[in-house]
Structure 1
Amino acid sequence: MASSKTVLITGTSSGIGLAAAVAAARAGWRVVATMRDTGRAGALTEAAQAAGVGPLVQVERLDVTDPASVAECLDAVVAQHGRLDAVVNNAGSGVVGTVEQDGMAPVRAAMEVNYFGVVEVTRAALPHLRASKGRVITVTSVGGVVGQPFNEAYCAAKFAVEGFMESLAPVAATVGVHVSVVEPGAVASEFVASQRIDIPALLSAAGPYAPALRAYVERTQKSFAVAQSPAEAAAPIVAALDAEQPPFRIQTTEWARDFAGTKLADLDGAAVQELTGGWLR
């Protein structure tokens, strides 16, 4: 199985990243599937083999928070394959809480992975993408459009990513590089479980915020009970890889389109405040 198109995808040990890696390989891409801990590659390897695309999926270590790791991985990819045609920024981490109680550490940690990691990978990849007239596709979230209660750090980082990519897109276009962001809503993946959130402990420590947090948790648990699958969320990513002119902003469900649309049409912010405030009552 050979391919002349090479895509590097971050955060592929589970969830959307894993599904995107397998789907891209099935679409004919040679996939460099990266993760911080390659010891967690078993699920991806099994899924790729089951899909009949094992030879097209190459697992490599990449820690988006470590510039040396990013540079080493990208240099090795180009040395081996001769080109890089696309990057999918998918690696990320979530945090639930509020800044008065949690302090600055979770905010800085969320920005490091979800924002600065994306910027670093994109920066390092751009010379190679200029050469191939390639593209950058970044998985953000509807939380990068609509700020959500008890997701201050996560949404701030995703807002930053959206602002960065929206600003970069016309600049990158002048050198032949296409930029898109993909905005999933709730996705039934290991991303949620991997946050290892102890809900009873979180509620117990919430103090005056406990009633609002309890309402938020109950609403969120219901939304993830009917979430789309990682494969469904990954499909628009692969479509954007192959599309001649994909849009800048791509939502993965009709609900996500409606949710993002509420914000984009909400000039004074009242509609969003009414919507998300209702989650806490």
Structure 2
Amino acid sequence: MSDKVALLTGTSSGFGMLASLRFLEKGYRVVATMRDLNKKSELLERARGLGCESRLDCMKLDVTSEADIRHAMEQVREKYGRVDVLVNNAGYAVGGAAEEVPMEEWRKLMDTNLFGVIAMTQSVLPLMREQGSGTIINVSSVSGRIGIPGYSPYCTSKFALEGFSESLRHEVSGFGIKTVLICPGAYNTSIWDKGFDHIHVTEASPYRPLLDAVLGYSRRTAESAPDPDEIARKIVWLAGKKSPSLRYTYGKGSLQSMLGKSLLPWRWFERILAVALKKSDTGK
């Protein structure tokens, strides 16, 4: 794998950092990008501990900045001349009732979670087409398949990412390029803490009882969430897979939830979700 190059976004923590380390372990050259390079120290230290630091290249890249993307891709093309894997991982969560989340916050979220993915994909496709190969792995979420009350901005961004990825897969498969969605459920990453900090709600909000229930459910789920390294390993496995499917779902209860939505009458599924939130609200 010494000539294989993996380019990842959002690598200062969570899935991005862990996947970078797993790619290094597999022998890839890793271009680990992040918005703030001051946050690269943990990744560098852990790569050093693995004896892989020489194959790690940390670059500044804000996926909402066309200039950052252009500059990073110029460096990648000059240094490596190829990109074998793109992992679009950068993203964050915003919560609140749809009526109350400011439009500015909706736009900022979509700019990162959706338009940032599209811009990164556009930037690597010419190189992958020249190579006649490549894998694009978009980190989605179960929230891209099941709408969750109180997280409509985040769900909207991930639902859109699912549609983009499905269309993209059809468009680029003829060039030897694979498109894959990985859809984690709840895992123990910093997106939970950041998401809790981005809940838009006031004491007087008519949605306060619902949002309190959602927040309580989310916090309890986060406390028992599994190790995110499971997803990091799956990402690397998918990168090496010859003929991957479009979508892979992981996480406790995730497959059951998606099957429930697909197979149950909508009224039943809606009722199950309402009951789960009510139990969370009462602490039962």
User: What's the TM-score, normalizing by structure 2?
Assistant: 0.92
Give the C-alpha shift of residue 26 in structure 1.
0.5
> Aligned residue pairs: how many?
277
Q: Is the aligned partner of 1:12 residue 2:27?
A: no
* Contact 1:236–1:250 (Cα < 8 Å) also in 2: no
Give the C-alpha shift of residue 192 in structure 1.
2.0
Partner residue, 1:252: 250
Give the C-alpha shift of residue 204 in structure 1.
4.3
C-alpha separation between the residues in 1 aligned to 2:145 and 2:153? 14
Give the C-alpha shift of residue 86 in structure 1.
1.1
Give the C-alpha shift of residue 254 in structure 1.
5.1
C-alpha change, 1:196 and 1:142, in structure 2 (3 Å) is closer
Superposed CA offset, 1:157-196 (max 9, x none): 1100000001110111011100000011111112222346
Give the C-alpha shift of residue 91 in structure 1.
0.1
Partner residue, 2:159: 159
Give the C-alpha shift of residue 97 in structure 1.
0.6
Partner residue, 1:30: 29
The 3-state SS of whatever aligns with 1:194 is: helix
Aligned-residue RMSD, C-alpha: 1.8
C-alpha separation between the residues in 2 aligned to 1:32 and 1:236? 18
Q: Is the aligned partner of 1:68 residue 2:67?
A: yes
Partner residue, 2:82: 83
C-alpha change, 1:207 and 1:254, in structure 2 (3 Å) is closer
Superposed CA offset, 1:15-55 (max 9, x none): 11000000011011111000011111011111211222212
How is 1:186-265 mapped onto 2 (pairs within 5 angstroms)? 186-195=186-195, 197=197, 204-205=202-203, 207-253=205-251, 255-265=253-263
Partner residue, 1:269: 266
The 3-state SS of whatever aligns with 1:183 is: strand
Partner residue, 2:96: 97
* Contact 1:9–1:90 (Cα < 8 Å) also in 2: yes
C-alpha separation between the residues in 2 aligned to 1:255 and 1:88? 25
C-alpha separation between the residues in 1 aligned to 2:34 and 2:180? 22
C-alpha separation between the residues in 2 aligned to 1:232 and 1:206? 41
After the TM superposition, list the runs of 4 or more consecutive aligned residues in structure 1 that deviate by more than 4 angstroms. Answer: none
User: What's the TM-score, normalizing by structure 1?
Assistant: 0.93
* Seq. identity, %: 33
Partner residue, 2:123: 124
**Paired letter, 1:127:** P
Give the C-alpha shift of residue 110 in structure 1.
1.1
C-alpha change, 1:66 and 1:240, in structure 2 (3 Å) is same
Partner residue, 1:179: 179
